[in-house]
Chain A
Amino acid sequence: MQPASQPTSSQAPADGGEPGSAAAKARRISDGAAAPVLPDCCNIGITLRILLPLNLAGGLLALAMGTGWADLGRRLLEIGAVLEPVALVSLVALCGMRKTVNGKPVRVQWLVGLAVPAGLTLLVCLMIGRLLVPDLAPQAFAWWVAARCLIAVALAALTIEFFRLRALSLSPSLAEARLQALQARIRPHFLFNSLNTVLGLMRADPRRAESTLENLADLFRVFMRDTRALVPLDEEVVTCQQYLAIEQLRLGDRLRVKWDTDQMQGDALLPALLLQPLVENAVHHGIEPRSEPGEITIIVSRPGERVRVEILNPAEEQQPVRPGNQMALSNIRERLLLLYDMEAELKTSEENGQFRLLLELPYRKERRRRDVRRHFDPDR
């Protein structure tokens, strides 16, 4: 780690435990999308863990409703006669449907997980209900059936959610691995192109080659940092400027950059490497595919308790030449979701040949100023 950035652990107290909770949130959101929603009903351990609490709950319910030993038996029978067949058949059915359901969208998985027990409850109640409660009026019987279906849905939902959270708590490394993969995806092109630029400058302009290598070293130090670490905004802006200085050498006149940071709140904290990939994206899609010069405008401001970053670049005329990089934007969107949940916003629009990206984050202040390079001098 570079001296400027402190170990992650020391940042947690500085920010009142933010990164920790963000990571916990991250886990939930990221993995929920990929992992199956329903528990593995074919797994005997899991089925036992489902049946046991259900029966316990049924028993306790009977106890609560009953008024004596004799009554308790009757209540147990009434509950068990519905609960047992529904629970068992649901498990078998869901085990059988497992393969087909798991790949489906989350909504569909939930729907199946809730509909199977509910449907079976309806079926069982209609079949044996009259035997259990022979003297109910038709309306009361309907009520009796509906209540049981509703309870079946509620219990199924609780069970599914319990197992989902349990699976997530057991795989904490998953989200981290995902974050790492997200940040690693864009680098190799940039590294080799930059090295090529440095080699090209080496003889004609050794000084510039030198400063480019320094920029490159700084950038890769940042690239290798844990992206859940929070950094002050002005540090991230320096990273972007160093990145742009390298691209400027490579692209020459084709790249023009305009910064507007007058309204910037430099001490605002944000996850490391949040802006740089957005700027990189602007260069890849707005400048690189064009033969003519283009301008990237970056406006950083602070409306109220928010941090706003606006990036404008010329819109791409034809389909992207490098398919891998369309991912960049969705990667960043996913990262924002992982780290901020609903608090952050990333919007893009296109009009009059301009691609406009708007990023808004909650403004969180840096508690401890650190000794970092916050100003970038391109001629240094």
Chain B
Amino acid sequence: MSDAISILIVDDEPVARSRLRELLADLAPDFPHRIVGEAANAPEALSQIEAAQPQIVLLDVQMPGMTGIELARHISARSAASETPKPMPLVIFVTAFEEFAVEAFEVRAIDYLLKPVRAQRLLEALRRAVTRLPSDQIQAIDQLARATNTRRRHLSVHERGRVILVPLEQVIYLKAELKYITVRTREREYLIEESLTALEDEFVDRFVRIHRNALVARPAIAGFERVTPTGEDDAGDPYWQVVLRDIPERLPVSRRQWSTVKNLVG
């Protein structure tokens, strides 16, 4: 039990999942493993990864709602940011689409299998997967996502064993606080474990950095306001604040970012 590699199967098609299960059963003598779960879509997969901590994920690329590549980004973004190294599951993509940016997979840190999958090929992929370093794979998935122009359309929030997908267009700002990032939507706040810099790189089209610790969605910016702090010992110089469209809260703009931010509103 302890040295058997744990595997999660993610595919939206039941028949495709059972095929992988059969193949894995055939390979059991050569590759001791246990299947810790099956998922038919991305949120299910994320919850199962959280709950069962599989070492390997067999991940279908074409799935409704969220593609396998986008899902892989969620997995890697989460592992990349956490300070206590979370076991990053190793991803093996499974796809029927040969033209699906095969060159993007050339990075050897991730592997892909073409449907219909052969047992021998699956065995090779599994054996190779366990020798890989998670850090290489995180990079490789980022590269793959860039090459296929895949951006996440949601942020995945893990909350009491559940996975919530927050659509990106609902996010008003992202603010780094200690080891978490606060994701603010109109309704509420969520906490995610990712790096603000990585988020800024990924969603550069949508968010602008206003402070060392904050990114604001451009469409959410209603305007700016100049504030003069009135403290007891007449502290500080005047500074600018972002006025947000849907929430009364204001966020300070750092002096360093002001020069870039002010260009946003002519």
Q: Do A and B come from one complex?
A: yes
**Residues of A bordering B, CB below 8 Å:** 188-189, 192-193, 195-197, 199-201, 203-204, 249-252, 288-291, 318, 321-322, 324
Say yes or no: is B232 at the interface (Cβ < 8 Å to chain A).
no
Secondary structure of the B contact surface, majority rule: loop
Q: Mark B11-22, 1 if CB is under 8 A from A, else 0.
A: 011111011001
Q: A200-B15, A252-B14 are known contacts; what are 14 more A-B pairs with Cβ within 8 Å?
A: A189-B96, A189-B97, A196-B115, A196-B117, A200-B18, A200-B22, A203-B22, A250-B13, A288-B62, A288-B64, A291-B12, A291-B64, A291-B65, A322-B97
For A199, list chain B residues within 8 Å (CB): 19, 116
Contact of A290 with B64 at beta-carbon distance under 8 Å, contacts A196-B116, A250-B13, A252-B13 already known: yes
Tell me the minimal C-beta distance from A262 to chain B in angstroms.
33
Say yes or no: is B143 at the interface (Cβ < 8 Å to chain A).
no
For A188, list chain B residues within 8 Å (CB): 98
- Could you give 6 example pairs across A and B, Cβ below 8 Å? A192-B115, A193-B115, A197-B15, A289-B65, A291-B40, A322-B62
Tell me the minimal C-beta distance from B59 to chain A in angstroms.
15
Say yes or no: is B114 at the interface (Cβ < 8 Å to chain A).
yes
Do the beta carbons of B114 and A192 come within 8 Å of each other? yes
Say yes or no: is B182 at the interface (Cβ < 8 Å to chain A).
no
Q: Can you list the 4 inter-chain pairs with the closest CB atoms, starting with the nearest?
A: A200-B19, A200-B15, A192-B96, A196-B115
Do the beta carbons of A196 and B16 come within 8 Å of each other? yes
Nearest B residue to A203, CB-CB: B22
Nearest B residue to A204, CB-CB: B18
For A197, list chain B residues within 8 Å (CB): 13, 15-16
Partner of B96, one of A193, A204, A321: A193
Most buried by A among B13, B16, B153: B13
Do the beta carbons of A249 and B116 come within 8 Å of each other? no
For A192, list chain B residues within 8 Å (CB): 96-98, 114-116
Nearest B residue to A195, CB-CB: B116
**Residues of B bordering A, CB below 8 Å:** 12-16, 18-19, 22, 40-41, 62, 64-65, 67, 96-99, 114-117, 153
Do the beta carbons of B116 and A289 come within 8 Å of each other? no
Tell me the minimal C-beta distance from B65 to chain A in angstroms.
5
Secondary structure of the A contact surface, majority rule: helix
Do the beta carbons of A196 and B97 come within 8 Å of each other? no
For B62, list chain A residues within 8 Å (CB): 288, 321-322
For B67, list chain A residues within 8 Å (CB): 321
Tell me the minimal C-beta distance from B129 to chain A in angstroms.
21
Most buried by A among B15, B22, B67, B116: B15
Complex-state Cα separation, A288 to B41, whole angstroms: 12
Complex-state Cα separation, A201 to B117, whole angstroms: 14
Complex-state Cα separation, A193 to B114, whole angstroms: 10
Complex-state Cα separation, A140 to B116, whole angstroms: 81
Nearest B residue to A198, CB-CB: B116
Complex-state Cα separation, A250 to B116, whole angstroms: 13
Complex-state Cα separation, A18 to B19, whole angstroms: 48
For B18, list chain A residues within 8 Å (CB): 200, 204
Nearest A residue to B117, CB-CB: A196
Complex-state Cα separation, A213 to B153, whole angstroms: 38
Do the beta carbons of A289 and B13 come within 8 Å of each other? no
Tell me the minimal C-beta distance from A241 to chain B in angstroms.
19
Complex-state Cα separation, A200 to B115, whole angstroms: 11
Most buried by B among A199, A201, A290: A199
Nearest B residue to A249, CB-CB: B15
For A204, list chain B residues within 8 Å (CB): 18
Tell me the minimal C-beta distance from B51 to chain A in angstroms.
20
Complex-state Cα separation, A199 to B116, whole angstroms: 8
For A322, list chain B residues within 8 Å (CB): 62, 97
Tell me the minimal C-beta distance from B46 to chain A in angstroms.
14
Complex-state Cα separation, A250 to B17, whole angstroms: 11
Tell me the minimal C-beta distance from A319 to chain B in angstroms.
9
Do the beta carbons of B19 and A196 come within 8 Å of each other? yes
Tell me the minimal C-beta distance from A201 to chain B in angstroms.
6
For A193, list chain B residues within 8 Å (CB): 96, 115
Tell me the minimal C-beta distance from A164 to chain B in angstroms.
36
Complex-state Cα separation, A192 to B96, whole angstroms: 6
